[in-house]
Every structure is written in structure tokens, then in C-alpha cells.
Structure 1
Amino acid sequence: MAMGFCDQIWAEVAPLRQAILAHPFLTALADGTLPRDSFQHYIVQDSLYLAEYARVLAIAAARAPSAAGRLEFSDGAKVAVQVEEGLHQAFFAQFGVTAAMVQAAEPTPACLGYTSYLASLAATRSYEELIAAILPCFWVYWEVGCAIKPRATSPNPYAPWIDTYADPGFGAATDRVHALVDEAAAATTPTMRDAMARAFRNATRYEWMFWDSAWRLETWPV
């Protein structure tokens, strides 16, 4: 059987995925030694990211040609908001992030770059490219969660984060989005599949940049 679009692009971005799994942010998160300020930076930026990601998912739902797509992406938008509120509120309390800190926070270049890229696809590009760029946020996190969980030290201050992304329910959601992307790719042209592959690659690069920016405590250079 021929390899589907998603498995093909996943294999192609293997070096990027290795770079993500080997990133010191995730290594330190797994062994529980990640500096508190790095995780604080990450969680604040992630809440800014998820607010925008939820909007992008809602647009994907509105543009989806099938009922399955409309349901999946509207559910995803809802879950992104719930994760932002539930998981993050717990982390904010645990890691001393105040509401004032969140309100004062501005997206870093990595966060703004990633969310603006997704928003530009949603506004000006095809549905196919948009959902190809949405998928890495699911799939990369699922791979990271599954890779980290077996080797994470216990007790680990970051265990709830690891558990969220290694949860079979999150894996099932990833599979459903994966199926929608494969379906869209199978029904379109080779030129569009190339554009989808580019969108997937760019979003995966942004995933690496997002963790790297938290590790470096990135702010605007000027």
C-alpha cells in the first residue's frame, strides 16, 4: 500500500523531529531539572499561543468540507480553550505565574511568528494548507509526550504536562486530525500537496523554535 501524505511528510521531517526530542528544554523537562523560569516563560507563551490556535481551529472548522472536519476542528478549538484554562491555571498556581504577569506578557518573536503564520494560512491560503499546518501541534506534542513519559524522573514537577500529551485521548485526537489531512491530500493536486508539505514543515520548525525560545528566555531583541 502506498504511504499516505502524513506518513510521508512525517518521515521527511525526521531530522527536525530528532532535533525537537533532543532539545535541552525537553531533556531537562523529562528529568525534572528544567529551570522554573524557563517553564514559566513557556507556559505564559503557550497560553498566548493557544488563544490564537483556538481561533485558527475555529476557522478550519468553518472551512471544512465535511461534517467530520467541522466537528473535529470545532471540538479542537474548544479543547484548546479548555487546556488553556484548566492546565494553565493549575500550572500558573504551581509555578507562581500571576494574572498580572499573563496580562502584561507579549508574544515573543517565536510565538508571534508561529501564530501569525497559522493566521495567514487561515486568511489567505487553502483549507488543505491550513490543516497541514495545524497537524504538527498535535502530532509533535503526542510524539514528545510518548517519548518523554517512559524516561521521565518521578516525582517530577512537570508530570501533569507530560501526562496531558502522553494521554491516549490526545493520541486519538491526533489520529483524527491526521486522517482529515490525509483525506484532503488524497483528494487534491500534486501542487497542492507540495504546498501542504511546506506548511507542515514550517509549523514543525516553529515547534522547535517555540521550545528553544523558552529555553533561552527569548524576548524581543530591540
Structure 2
Amino acid sequence: MSFCEGVWQQALPLRRAILDLPFNRDLAAGTLPRETFQFYMLQDSLYLDGYSRALSLLAARAPETDMMLEFAQAAQVALVVERSLHESVFKEYGLDRSVIDAAEPSPTCLGYINFLIAAAHQASFEEAVAAVLPCFWVYEEVGNTVHDRATPDNPYRAWIDAYASEEFAAAVRRVIDITDRLALHASPKAVAGMTQAFIRSVQYEWMFWDSAYTRQTWPV
């Protein structure tokens, strides 16, 4: 069993909990309130800015050219391609740039961003890669599951189709392959660190979906 196969199974209870969150159930049913989806998209836009920075740091630290290219391209996709999806939604919702620029990250969003950037700066390269993998892999699973459950006239079809696409799946497979290659030559201590980082990010994924549903704000 490869590292990714093993840690994916270890994360199964968390993954099931993510798929069962009210946000994702309502997203599939097409009954998610527009205000909730709007809140999610604003937070996701802020998250993607931080996520792309973490990916760029990994590209700079990568020991092999193919890894450097993969993370550099992933950082570009996070900024350009996915941001275009967000901006089309913002336009549909009538949100102007001042509203978007004034948005602040929720406690969960800020915590997740800081965790990934800290890992990209300070952790071993192997551990940092394991930390960014769940955002790819969990989103693919959520996208595919919601796609299979989605109503035909679902108002969130554009978002659903983006994360259930073959193109996105291919990107996920490439990062999984890189992670497995790194784990294969890592020390037991490094593999343990990779596992911990992966699980922590899956926990943050659950928290991010949940915080979007509750429209989490700062308590004080």
C-alpha cells in the first residue's frame, strides 16, 4: 500500500463527515441559500490567494524539475483559472470589487492559510507537500460526490462541474504521485510528519466547509 492509499484510508471518517456536512448536502440538492454560497465563495477567494502562495513556495523548494513545474502551474491555476470562476459568480451576485476587496478571512480561513504557509516555509518539503494535498484530493471527492447527487437544474452547476472535471482529476493524480514518490524515500520520522500534516489539512477542510455554512465571523 502506498503512502497516499494508507493516509486516505486513515482519513476516511473525516472524509465521510465532510461529505455529510449540511453545506455539501444542500449544495447537491440545490437548496443552499445564495447568501451562504456567496459567503463561501468570498472566503474561498481569500483562501486561494494564500494557497497559491504556499504552492509557489513549494515550487521554489522543489528538488526536481517536474515537481517545480507542477506546483508552479498549480499556483497559477489557483490564481487565474479558479479566480475566473469566482469572479463570474461575484458578477452574477452583483458584487462589485469594493465588496470583494473589503472581505476578511474567517477564523477558520485564516488558520488554514497560515498553517499551509507555515508548512511551506518551515516544515520539510515532504511534509509541506502532504499538507497541500488534501485541498486537491478532498475537493475532487466532494466535487464528484456532489456531481453524482446534484439535481438537474442545480443553480451551482458551474462550481460542481469544475471540481468534477477530468482536468482537475488529472491534476490531483499528479500531486498524489509526487507525494508517494517523496514518501517512498523519506525516513519513518518524515513519513509520520507527512501523515500528521495530511490529517490536519483534512480537519481544516471539514472546518472550512462548516464555517461557510454557519457564515463564521470573529466572536469578538
Q: State the TM-score, normalizing by the size of structure 2.
A: 0.98
Residue 52 of structure 1 is matched in structure 2 by 50
Moved over 2 A (4+): 95-98
Q: How does 1:55-204 map to 2 (within 5 A)?
A: 55-204=53-202
Residue 7 of structure 1 is matched in structure 2 by 5
Is the contact between residue 32 and residue 152 of structure 1 (CA under 8 Å) also seen in structure 2? yes
Distance 2:33 2:63 in 1: 45
Residue 19 of structure 2 is matched in structure 1 by 21
**Superposition RMSD in Å:** 0.8
Segments of structure 1 that go 5 or more residues without pairing to the other structure are: none
Corresponding residue SS for 2:80: helix
Is the contact between residue 40 and residue 97 of structure 1 (CA under 8 Å) also seen in structure 2? no
- Matched AA of 1:109: P
Structure 2 residue corresponding to 1:39, chosen from 13, 34, 37: 37
Measured against aligned partners, the alpha-carbon deviations of 1:33-78 in whole angstroms (never above 9, x if no partner) come to 0011110110000000001111110110111111110010000001
Distance 2:183 2:216 in 1: 36
Distance 2:194 2:56 in 1: 19
Segments of structure 2 that go 5 or more residues without pairing to the other structure are: none
Q: How many residues align?
A: 220
Distance 2:32 2:92 in 1: 14
Is the contact between residue 51 and residue 84 of structure 1 (CA under 8 Å) also seen in structure 2? no
Distance 2:149 2:211 in 1: 24
Higher mean displacement: 184-193 or 79-88: 79-88
Distance 2:11 2:216 in 1: 25
Query: Displacement of 1:101 after TM fit?
Result: 1.4
Distance 2:205 2:51 in 1: 13
- Matched AA of 1:90: S
Distance 1:123 1:58 in 2: 11
- Matched AA of 1:7: E
Q: State the TM-score, normalizing by the size of structure 1.
A: 0.97
Higher mean displacement: 81-90 or 158-167: 81-90
